[in-house]
Amino acid sequence: MQTSANAPRSEIVGWMGERLKIKIKAPAVEGKANAELLRFLSECLDVRQNCVHILRGDTAKIKLISIDGVEPSQLHEKFGQKR
C-alpha cells in the first residue's frame, strides 16, 4: 500500500501494480496519518478499526497492512482491480 499524507480528503486513488495508493487527509506528524489510514480503511471495508494493522512501514509512504477477515482478492474486488 502506498500513502500520501496531508491530502484535502482521504480517498482511494487506485492500483499501482500490486499496491493500492491511498491519499490521507491527516498530516504525517506524530502518527496522525497512520491513525487516519487505519480509520479510513476500516470504514471502507466495514470492519472494526482494531482489525486493521500496519505490519511494516510506520514511518514510510509504502506500508504493509494486515486486515483481519479480509482476503487480498476482496481488496482487488472492492477497489476495482480484477485478478
pTM for this entry: 0.89
Q: Of residues 46 and 82, which shows the higher confidence score?
A: 46
Percent residues over pLDDT 70 in the chain: 96
Q: How confident is the model at residue 81 (pLDDT cuts 50, 70, 90)?
A: low
User: Residues 2, 23: contact at Cβ < 8 Å?
Assistant: no
Third-level CATH fold of 2-78: Conserved Hypothetical Protein Mth637; Chain: A; (3.30.1200)
Confidence of residue 60 (pLDDT cuts 50, 70, 90): very high
Give yes or no for a contact between 75 and 20, defined as CB atoms under 8 angstroms apart: yes
- Extract the C-alpha cell encoding 63: 506500508
Tell me the three cell numbers of residue 3: 500513502
**Confidence tier at 2 by pLDDT (50, 70, 90):** confident
What is the sign of the dihedral through the CA atoms of 18, 19, 21 and 24? positive
CA distance 62 to 50: 20
